[in-house]
Amino acid sequence: MRYIRMGNSGLKLTEVTFGSALTIGTENLNQEYADKMIAQAWDLGIRSFDVSNNYGMGAAERLVGKALQRYPHEEYVVSTKGSWPVGETPYHRGLSRKHILWAFEESIKKMGLDYVDIYYAHRYDPETPMEEVVRTFNYLISSGRVRYWATSEWPVEALQECHEVCEKLGMEKPIIEQCIYSFAVRKAEKNGVKDFCDSHGVGMLGFSPLCQGLLTGKYRNGIPEGSRAAKSKQLQYDKTMNFYEQNKERIDKFLETCDIYGLRPTDVAIKWGIRKGIYPVLGASRPEQLTDTLKGLETEVSEDAWISFEEI
Ligand SMILES: NC(=O)c1ccc[n+]([C@@H]2O[C@H](COP(=O)([O-])OP(=O)(O)OC[C@H]3O[C@@H](n4cnc5c(N)ncnc54)[C@H](OP(=O)(O)O)[C@@H]3O)[C@@H](O)[C@H]2O)c1
């Protein structure tokens, strides 16, 4: 597993980050399950772990935090996020200093950690002035409980403003933008975010690199038993098949092209983001899936095949 430097910062992450939305703390609330998943990721060489305060409404932070306590914190990177609504009032959402300082304290309490390596402004909040956001995340860094801050799914205009404010105030800039990115969903290449990150030294992580499982090819003959789409009621999440409907042509052509070149779709999907410099934040509902997906890191894909994928 390679370590990749995140933009202009000094932080290096393993080329794959393991994330726990909809799995640890949502699909399964057992500590034993969380321990197994984290141990599998660790044994495969992953040293970057991603949660958020809204995954299982705190359960993912509790379970992943506990599982990670078996490992020395100086040997891995863990991130969590704030701003997603976690309650009914304006104090339970957004990027105000009032909410973020409360949400952060809740997060590290649940995780049982002294500090997190990366704290994300999970979504942009147009109702909080950028200077307040920058000062709040910088305060967390200077308090010693956050090493770096980052953004997720921010529009390019907000990233631009944020960088300008940081420059003006001489403050730490966010080092990573984490956005949705896979072969199927590539808006970061079109909405200016990738260009901005590349030209401003911001590292990029792409979540849902398998497009929630659709790019493994397992939905070719309908919804398979035990898959995320089949579990939509249990997970209270029903968007997987919408992703298929919205990107049907590209996904079908991707799978056909894999067949033509004799490639496993999962292997190509995991390599796609790495090739583009938008490093995967990968999910898995079982330990074997992690092993299966990471096999892709070793797979050779010819330049001819990449050209065909680029043409889709
Ligand atoms: N920043 C954000 O706003 C944001 C938003 C979403 C996610 N994320 C992060 O990104 C992480 C990954 O998201 P994701 O779970 O949507 O990503 P994904 O990697 O595209 O999908 C993971 C799902 O695909 C299926 N799968 C995985 N490996 C497989 C394999 N080898 N063969 C067959 N099926 C396989 C599993 O679902 P089933 O077994 O259930 O079918 C698994 O849970 C999250 O955990 C979270 O940390 C961040």
Q: What is the pLDDT of residues 161-180, one digit of tens each?
A: 999 999 999 999 999 999 99
- Please tell me which residue in 55, 148, 181, 244 is annotated as part of the active site: 55
CA distance 68 to 90: 32
pLDDT given for residue 297 in this prediction: 96
The reply to whether 115 belongs to the active site is no
- Closest to 264 measured CA to CA, from 299, 310, 308: 299
Question: What is the distance between the alpha carbons of residues 276 and 288, in angstroms, rounded to a whole number?
Answer: 26
From the list 117, 152, 113, 114, the residue with the least C-alpha distance to 21 is: 152
Both tokens of residue 293?
């997906």
Over residues 202-225, the pLDDT tens digits come to 999 999 999 999 999 999 999 999
Helix (H, G, I), strand (E, B) or coil at 281: strand
The residue whose two tokens read 């800039």 is: 173
- Residue 43's CB is within 10 A of a number of other CB atoms, namely 11
Statement: the pTM of the whole predicted model exceeds 0.95: yes
Both tokens assigned to 161? 């403003």
Which DSSP string do the residues of 44-90 spell out, in sequence order?
Answer: TT--EEE--TTGGGGHHHHHHHHHHTTS-GGG-EEEEEE-S--SSSG
**Per-domain boundaries in the chain:** 3-213+265-302
Report which ligand 1 atom has the smallest distance to the Cα of 286: 39
Task: Select 3-213+265-302's CATH number: 3.20.20.100, 3.40.462.10, 3.40.50.2300, 1.10.940.10.
Answer: 3.20.20.100
Taking the centre of ligand 1 as the mean of its atom positions, its distance from the CA of residue 283, in whole angstroms, is: 3
pLDDT, position 209? 98
**Ligand 1: centre distance to CA 121 (Å):** 20
Task: From the CA of 231, give the closest atom in ligand 1.
Answer: 40
| Residues within a 6 A CB radius of ligand 1 | 19-23, 50, 152-153, 178, 207-213, 216, 218, 227-228, 231, 266, 281-285, 289, 292-293
Residue 234 CA to ligand 1 center (angstroms) comes to: 16
pLDDT of residue 29: 96
Of the residues 46, 264, 285, which should be mutated to test ligand 1's pocket, given the most ligand atoms within 8 Å of the CB?
A: 285
